[in-house]
Amino acid sequence: MGGPCITVRREGDGRPSVPYKFPMATSRDLAAEILLRLDRKGGRVKEGLADARRHLKDPRERALLTELAYGTVRRQGTLDAVVAAYSKRPVPRLNASIRTALRMGVYQLFFLDRVPNHAAVDHAVRWATRHAGPRRAGFVNGVIRNLIRGIEGPAAGAEKPRRDVPREDGSAVRMKKSVFADPVTNLAGNLAGRYAMPQWLVERWLGSFGEVRTRQILRTGIARPSLTLRARTTREALVAELAARELACEAGPGDHAVRLAGGEGAIEALLGSGLAAVQDATSQRAVPALGLAPGMRVLDLCAAPGGKTLHIADLLGQGSVVACDVEEHKLDGLRALAPRMGDVGLEVVGIEADGDLPFEPASFDAVLVDAPCTNTGVLARRVEARWRARPADVAELAVIQGAILARAAPLLKPGGTLVYSTCSIEPEENSGVLAAFLEQHPDFEGDVAYRAWPTSDCDGGFGAVLRRRAD
């Protein structure tokens, strides 16, 4: 592939960032290249977008790039199910370039009303020709055109769960033939295909939460998440500034959350002003539960990327924060917070994944453990997480979470407060970890502070407040 190239940094799970390149072209080309590399090598959509979007001057092209990259990964399971119904070859056995062309082309057909069918098909075929040759591009052309002929139109009347492809606005596209599993004999398989979620996860939710709650979680999981800001001073001041910048907004849950739509460039300037930080409303509930007061010394044990570290500083006003992480490459991002911390001192410390922590016992007034988790409360936002998760992850992470809490406990002063939080909705990672910790640490008492389900207003998550007995 010729032409000028830009470098995008890909960061894998716990691995140092490594560069990869793709040709600088249209928003569709850039989105397809990001998706192809995700398919082949893993990584995260946001890391590919970080550089790519800066090379598109037109805000509409940048918006389309973001929509295509995030949306195609978010709805990948549904796209694969539809393609499988019209392809003679199983989707997992297709060439990665062909999978990418099909997924992105079909995503536009079903979910982007402003994109004409011919534009989606033409790009998929041209891109496949460049990456996989004319013969395979012909296969892409045939599958997508057969699929278009298989669309009956907008769904009307009673739901047809084997034929209806749900959209985030509550509407659906109806196919002429059955595409999804029979819900009578395989409800989890039907919901997994229609709502783009691994079947094992749907089965788990049906067993834990019931069908009504599971359907709500699944509907949230296919929606574009709202952008929520945390007012660093007062919500009134932030809303006034947004109004001055002609940005539409509304108050979110809690005292400091503000939801808004669009205005990307203005938002970047706003974050630099010190009035706001990007933080979901559920995430905003963890730090206030610490009961902070000026002068405290606070430990943020799993601090990267630093959103809650900054929140601690805003609530402290004066004092000190020790921010830790086990991944060395994330520490520079934490150190970069220092100019935004005001009169709160910041110490950044790299720690090992196990063993004793490098701090004196009972040396902190408050401790935050925002633990690594399955991310099942934020799957609409962290779109890759659903496809990477394994059934064993829940139990394995619960063990890790318990171990982190056990390491943190001796560092808290008697009478101090420890907050344990996750962005998971799995009971084993939340109430299960809390119960096990309290049973093993009789010098602590505590209870659930909040439990949130993923909705259009906020992410899912969990928080518990633990206090070390003063005696």
DSSP structure string for 189-221 = HHHHHHTT--HHHHHHHHHHHHHHHHHHHHHHH
Nearest one of 300, 309, 291, 323 to 465, comparing CA atoms? 291
CA distance 128 to 151: 23
CB neighbourhood size of 409 (10 A): 19
Q: Which residues pair with 452 in a beta bridge?
A: 461
Task: Look at the block and give the residue holding tokens 């003063």.
Answer: 470
CB neighbourhood size of 296 (10 A): 23
> Tokens for 344?
């709160």
Residue 3, pLDDT score: 39
The gap between the terminal CA atoms of the chain, to the nearest Å, is 69
Give the helix/strand (H/E) hosting 420: strand 412-422
| Predicted confidence pLDDT, tens digits, the chain (471 residues) | 333 444 433 333 344 434 434 454 789 999 999 999 999 999 899 988 987 888 888 888 999 999 999 999 999 999 999 999 999 999 999 999 999 999 999 999 999 999 999 999 999 999 999 999 999 999 999 999 999 999 999 999 999 999 999 999 999 999 999 999 999 999 999 999 999 999 999 999 999 999 999 999 999 999 998 889 999 989 999 999 888 888 888 888 889 999 987 555 567 667 777 889 999 999 999 999 999 999 999 999 999 999 999 999 999 999 999 999 999 999 999 999 999 999 999 999 999 999 889 999 999 999 999 999 999 999 999 999 999 999 999 999 999 999 999 999 999 999 999 999 999 999 999 999 999 999 999 999 999 999 999 998 899 999 999 999 997
Nearest one of 334, 402, 333, 415 to 369, comparing CA atoms? 402
Report strand pairing: 343-350 vs 172-175. Answer: unpaired
Query: How many residues are there in the chain?
Result: 471
CA distance 97 to 394: 32
316, 292 contact by CB (below 8 A): yes
CB neighbourhood size of 431 (10 A): 15
Strand, helix or coil at 53? helix
CA distance 348 to 335: 6
Q: What share of the chain is helix, strand, coil (3-state, %, to 5)?
A: 45, 20, 35
What are the tens digits of pLDDT across the range 238-251?
999 888 888 888 88
Judged on CB neighbours under 10 Å (0-12, 13-18, 19+), 160 is middle
CA distance 442 to 450: 22
Residue 471, pLDDT score: 74
CA distance 230 to 271: 10
Give the helix/strand (H/E) hosting 364: strand 364-370
Rg of the Cα trace of the chain? 24
Task: Look at the block and give the residue holding tokens 């084997």.
Answer: 162
Nearest one of 99, 139, 101 to 120, comparing CA atoms? 101
CA distance 12 to 219: 28
Residue 167, φ and ψ in degrees, nearest 5: -115, 165
Residue 11, pLDDT score: 35
- How many helices (H) and strands (E) the chain has is answered by 16, 16
Residue 19, pLDDT score: 44
Nearest one of 144, 166, 168 to 155, comparing CA atoms? 166
Strand, helix or coil at 459? coil
DSSP 8-class letter at 259: E
User: Catalytic: which of 302, 373, 423, 458?
Assistant: 423
Judge whether 423 counts as a catalytic residue: yes
